[in-house]
């Protein structure tokens, strides 16, 4: 009876290991895979480094951020300007310039 339990336990552990690897592949994609907008993962030291900011800087994320910023500017302009000063303007400006140039090339 111990051998059957050990075999069943080994089978369950093997299936769990396979399941964990599948989840890891889904939830933690390789940095070399292209994103939805066609760009590759963040370069070493590039902006944005975190996946949250990469998602927010995508097309849908920018629309959401724009609506949020407009609402904040209407509701509390002083707070909106204070938050705006916290952003790395040079990195965001450079990224927006690259996007604009690539959009012009695509047309």
Q: How far is CA 95 from CA 34, 50, 88, 92, in A?
A: 17, 15, 11, 5
* Residue carrying structure tokens 């209407």: 74
**Per-residue model confidence as pLDDT tens digits over 8-44:** 999 999 999 999 998 888 777 665 555 554 555 545 5
pTM more than 0.85:
no
**How many CB atoms lie under 10 A from the CB of residue 85?**
7
Determine the Cα–Cα distance for residues 60 and 63; give it in Å rounded to an integer: 5
Domain limits, the chain: 1-34, 50-107
Where do the DSSP E strands lie in the chain?
Answer: none
């Amino acid at each position: 009876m111990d051998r059957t339990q050990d075999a069943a336990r080994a089978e369950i552990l093997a299936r769990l290991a396979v399941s964990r690897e599948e989840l890891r592949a889904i939830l933690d994609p390789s940095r070399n895979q292209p994103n939805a907008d066609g760009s590759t993962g963040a370069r070493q030291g590039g902006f944005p480094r975190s996946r949250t900011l990469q998602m927010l800087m995508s097309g849908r994320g920018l629309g959401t951020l724009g609506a949020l910023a407009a609402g904040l500017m209407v509701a509390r302009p002083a707070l909106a300007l204070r938050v705006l000063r916290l952003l790395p303007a040079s990195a965001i400006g450079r990224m927006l310039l690259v996007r604009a140039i690539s959009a012009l090339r695509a047309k």
